[in-house]
């Protein structure tokens, strides 16, 4: 299964497993794998404007130069990832490149950046989609967070049920969105004056324009570069010749995205737009270019739909990434388990939960989330490019020098962009990413260390290692009363040993004469040991007894437990058996055997109905 950066194909396409006719052409691959990249035009230009507007109208005049700088970086990334596609035709992206050519920690850093980006993609896409919706219908603005959570809940629920994704399904909304954006650009360029009223012109405040402001605008706008890596991760999903098809799709993505970004930037300067609370910049541009008629609503609704689909791509990518990481022993193995609906449930729930926290914490404001987005993206870009530098130094195939120079140049640019973005956005929330990434890496290293330790303990040291037990095992049965539970436990213990031992833990000053008499009458051939609870804990007292009297002997402790027939009945038992099992596992080497005893509901019990 393919690891996608935020490519929906990764959840449904299996490398080499599906018929060639089901694989992706350049067009379908572009539609299925570039949703989040295309959707970024709805919030990338706005992120630039929000910063430049601090300098008034003069600042807005730098929108095109800043956007051109971002487009140049986009061109370098596209050229670099064409080389990644050629060098890694099996796909895999930054994690695969770093794992092969860099170091284990570098690969985990790439994985952590992908996890952060997948999660932020959900929150940013939904927040941007809701912003487009509330721009068209301002009455919904007070309900922004609730609408965002409802959309997130719906997407999560659909993915928990299992939905079959196909790139062809995304062709229509992607085409409609791209055509809508180009229509806005074309109509706007042809107009001398806005078709509808726009925000008032900003007064100049030129003294505030400086290199720091421009760098901050650049770092904000770099959020528009998300998703550039997606096609490189899904090369095996393309039709033959796969490498050439994927490279063409990558170039097409770069051309479309760059053209849309520059076109929208030109319109922003032309109409001298200013940020308006509750209305997105794209909404203002659409209104200025097309008016407030049908065309305006087509653009807004196509934006909402595309952003929802872009959010859904994370549900195809992150659970699969977590499955790969679990297979590599750096995440709990439960993330590699599928439900009966062929869904990685734990991955889907984790993504939905963290996405909800981000939406609530940001108040559903996309401009609060966007500054966090580009940091992890550029870390992944940088690791992939440095990995490719190591690749060309090792391979030295024909033309390796200029390829090395290209990837090296890309690595330098993306690393600078990562540093600039982190520095410029640190006080706006980048500190959270700066903490989250190392925490994720350290957490994955701890998990890998734990699995390594467990594996070492479970490894058979010698082919001749004896699996036999030197002494007859001791089989113990904790009992408190004579019930069907104790009877079932003794029956199971007798099957394991001819001389099981029943143990009764009594409280201080408690008389056990009556219990001993009744027990011997019920089980005349069994041995009963009575010990006093000196620790105010039956579990700890029993564990201490086992540790003292059976220190070097294989010991089995048989405990019968009630298996409630209804959910609310689970709150009724005392949980004493769980206490015993926990104490024995924590303080002894004893093997705890828990035997569930099913209790039928009252309405099904013939004795109670009679």
| Cα 88–chain centre separation | 24
Of 196-200, 396-400, 441-445, the range with the highest mean pLDDT is 441-445
For the stretch 557-574, pLDDT in tens is: 998 887 776 776 666 666
Residue 499 within a domain = yes
Tokens of 329: 């022993």
Query: What pLDDT score was predicted for residue 11?
Result: 39
Residue 438 within a domain = yes
Tokens of 147: 């609408």
Residue 503 within a domain = yes
Give dist(CA 342, CA 547) in Å, integer.
Answer: 45
Tell me how long the chain is.
Answer: 610
Residue 330 within a domain = no
Domain boundary among 448, 483, 504: 448
Q: Do 377 and 483 fall into the same domain?
A: no
For residue 517, the tally of other CB atoms under 10 A from its CB is 10
> Residue 241, preceding bond cis, omega within 30 degrees?
yes
Query: Whole domain around residue 170: which residue ranges?
Result: 8-139+163-314+369-448
Residue 296 within a domain = yes
CB 114 within 8 A of CB 96: no
The residue that leads in pLDDT, 96 or 247, is 247
Answering whether pTM is above 0.75, one says no
Sheet containing 527-532: give its strands across. 527-532, 501-506, 474-479, 555-563, 591-598
**Backbone phi, then psi, for 257, in 5-degree steps?**
-65, -45
Q: Do 484 and 384 fall into the same domain?
A: no
- The region of weakest confidence among 59-73, 482-496, 502-516 is 502-516
Residue with tokens 């490498």: 243
**Backbone phi, then psi, for 170, in 5-degree steps?**
-90, 0
The domain total for the chain is 2
Q: Do 548 and 433 fall into the same domain?
A: no
Query: What pLDDT score was predicted for residue 103?
Result: 85
Q: Do 412 and 553 fall into the same domain?
A: no
Of 93-97, 417-421, 520-524, the range with the highest mean pLDDT is 520-524
Whether the pLDDT of residue 177 is over 50: the answer is: yes
Whether the pLDDT of residue 9 is over 50: the answer is: no
Q: Can you state the percent helix, strand and coil of the chain, rounding each to 5?
A: 70, 5, 25
Query: What pLDDT score was predicted for residue 1?
Result: 35
382 pLDDT tier (thresholds 50, 70, 90): confident
Q: Do 167 and 213 fall into the same domain?
A: yes
What CATH number has the domain bearing residue 433?
Answer: 1.20.1740.10
- CA-based end-to-end distance of the chain: 58
Give dist(CA 343, CA 359) in Å, integer.
Answer: 24
Residue 460 within a domain = no
Question: What's the mean pLDDT when you consider all of the chain?
Answer: 80
What CATH number has the domain bearing residue 520?
Answer: 3.40.50.620
Per-residue pLDDT, averaged over 228-244, amounts to: 79
- The region of weakest confidence among 194-198, 401-405, 455-459, 487-491 is 194-198
Query: What pLDDT score was predicted for residue 200?
Result: 56
CB 303 within 8 A of CB 46: no
> CA dihedral defined by 37, 43, 47, 50, rounded to 10 degrees?
160
Per-residue pLDDT, averaged over 462-478, amounts to: 67
Give dist(CA 35, CA 10) in Å, integer.
Answer: 13
| Cα 84–chain centre separation | 24
Whether the pLDDT of residue 160 is over 70: the answer is: yes
- The SS3 call for residue 596 is strand
For the stretch 13-71, pLDDT in tens is: 344 444 555 577 888 777 777 787 888 888 888 888 888 888 777 778 888 999 999 99
For the stretch 304-363, pLDDT in tens is: 888 888 888 788 778 878 888 888 888 888 888 877 777 788 888 999 999 999 999 888
Q: Which residues pair with 596 in a beta bridge?
A: 561
- The region of weakest confidence among 85-89, 136-140, 491-495 is 85-89
CB 224 within 8 A of CB 261: yes
Per-residue pLDDT, averaged over 114-123, amounts to: 87
Tokens of 91: 């796909």
Q: Do 511 and 434 fall into the same domain?
A: no
Where are any strands of DSSP class E within 141-255?
A: none
Residue 467 within a domain = no
Residue 561 within a domain = yes
Q: Do 427 and 502 fall into the same domain?
A: no
Q: Do 383 and 269 fall into the same domain?
A: yes
Tokens of 110: 């790439």
Of 163-167, 423-427, 582-586, the range with the highest mean pLDDT is 582-586
Query: What pLDDT score was predicted for residue 357?
Result: 93
Considering only the C-alpha atoms of the chain, give the largest distance between any 2 of them, rounded to a whole number of Å.
104
Whether the pLDDT of residue 8 is over 50: the answer is: no
Give dist(CA 62, CA 57) in Å, integer.
Answer: 9
Angle (CA) 383-335-337 rounded to 5° is: 135
For the stretch 67-87, pLDDT in tens is: 999 999 899 888 888 888 887
Domain boundary among 448, 466, 482: 448
Q: Do 431 and 494 fall into the same domain?
A: no
Closest by Cα among 89, 338, 319, 69 to 218 = 69
Query: What pLDDT score was predicted for residue 182?
Result: 92
Q: Do 427 and 390 fall into the same domain?
A: yes
Residue with tokens 């609730």: 146
| Cα 81–chain centre separation | 23
Q: Do 131 and 71 fall into the same domain?
A: yes
Give dist(CA 144, CA 131) in Å, integer.
Answer: 8
> CA dihedral defined by 578, 584, 585, 590, rounded to 10 degrees?
-130
Q: Do 57 and 205 fall into the same domain?
A: yes
């Amino acid at each position: 299964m393919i690891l996608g950066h935020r490519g929906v194909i990764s959840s449904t396409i299996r490398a080499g497993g599906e018929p060639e006719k089901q694989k992706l052409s350049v067009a379908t691959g572009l539609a299925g794998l570039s949703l989040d990249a295309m959707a970024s035009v709805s919030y990338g230009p706005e992120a630039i404007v929000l910063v430049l507007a601090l300098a008034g109208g003069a600042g807005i005049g730098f929108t095109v130069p800043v956007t051109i700088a971002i487009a140049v970086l986009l061109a370098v990334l596209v050229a670099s990832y064409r080389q990644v596609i050629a060098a890694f035709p099996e796909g895999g992206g930054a994690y695969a490149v770093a794992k092969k050519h860099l170091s284990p920690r570098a690969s985990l850093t790439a994985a952590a950046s992908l996890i952060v980006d997948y999660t932020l993609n959900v929150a940013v896409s939904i927040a941007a989609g809701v912003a487009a919706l509330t721009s068209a219908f301002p009455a919904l603005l007070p309900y922004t967070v609730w609408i965002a959570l409802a959309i997130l809940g719906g997407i999560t629920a659909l993915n928990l049920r299992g939905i079959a994704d196909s790139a062809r399904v995304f062709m229509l909304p992607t085409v409609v969105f791209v055509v809508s954006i180009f229509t806005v650009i074309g109509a706007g360029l042809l107009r001398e004056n806005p078709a509808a009223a726009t925000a008032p012109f900003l007064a100049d405040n030129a003294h505030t324009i400086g290199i720091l402001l421009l760098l901050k605008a650049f770092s904000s706008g770099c959020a528009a570069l998300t998703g550039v890596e997606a096609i490189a991760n899904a090369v095996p999903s393309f039709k033959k010749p796969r490498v050439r098809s994927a490279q063409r799709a990558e170039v097409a993505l770069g051309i479309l995205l760059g053209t849309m970004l520059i076109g929208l930037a030109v319109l922003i300067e032309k109409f001298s737009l200013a940020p308006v609370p509750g209305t997105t910049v794209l909404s203002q541009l659409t209104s200025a270019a097309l008016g407030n008629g049908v065309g305006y609503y087509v653009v807004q609704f196509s934006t909402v739909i595309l952003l929802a689909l872009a959010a859904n791509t994370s549900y195809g990518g992150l659970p699969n990434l977590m499955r790969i990481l679990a297979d590599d022993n750096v995440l709990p193995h439960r993330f590699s388990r599928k439900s009966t609906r062929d869904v990685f449930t734990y991955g889907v729930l984790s993504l939905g939960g963290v996405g909800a926290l981000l939406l609530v914490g940001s108040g559903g404001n996309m401009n609060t989330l966007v500054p966090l987005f580009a940091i992890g993206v550029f870390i992944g870009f940088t690791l992939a490019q440095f990995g490719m530098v190591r690749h060309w130094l090792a391979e030295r195939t024909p033309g390796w020098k200029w390829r090395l120079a290209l990837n090296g140049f890309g690595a330098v640019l993306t690393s600078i962009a990562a540093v600039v973005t982190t520095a410029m956005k640190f006080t706006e929330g980048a500190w959270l990413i700066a903490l989250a990434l190392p925490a994720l890496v350290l957490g994955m290293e701890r998990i890998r260390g734990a699995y390594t330790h467990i594996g070492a303990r479970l490894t058979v040291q010698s082919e001749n290692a004896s699996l036999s037990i030197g002494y007859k095992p001791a089989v113990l049965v904790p009992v408190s009363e004579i019930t069907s539970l104790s009877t079932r436990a003794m029956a199971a213990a007798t099957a394991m040993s001819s001389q099981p031992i029943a143990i009764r833990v009594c409280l201080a000053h408690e008389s056990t004469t009556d219990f001993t008499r009744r027990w011997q009458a019920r089980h005349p051939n069994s041995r009963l040991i009575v010990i006093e609870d000196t620790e105010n804990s039956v579990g700890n007292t029993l564990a201490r007894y086992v540790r003292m009297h059976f220190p070097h002997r294989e010991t089995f402790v048989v405990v019968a437990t009630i298996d409630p027939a209804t959910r609310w009945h689970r709150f009724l038992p005392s949980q004493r058996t769980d206490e015993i099992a926990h104490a024995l596992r924590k303080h002894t080497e004893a093997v705890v055997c828990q035997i569930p005893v099913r209790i039928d509901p009252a309405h099904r019990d013939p004795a109670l109905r009679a």
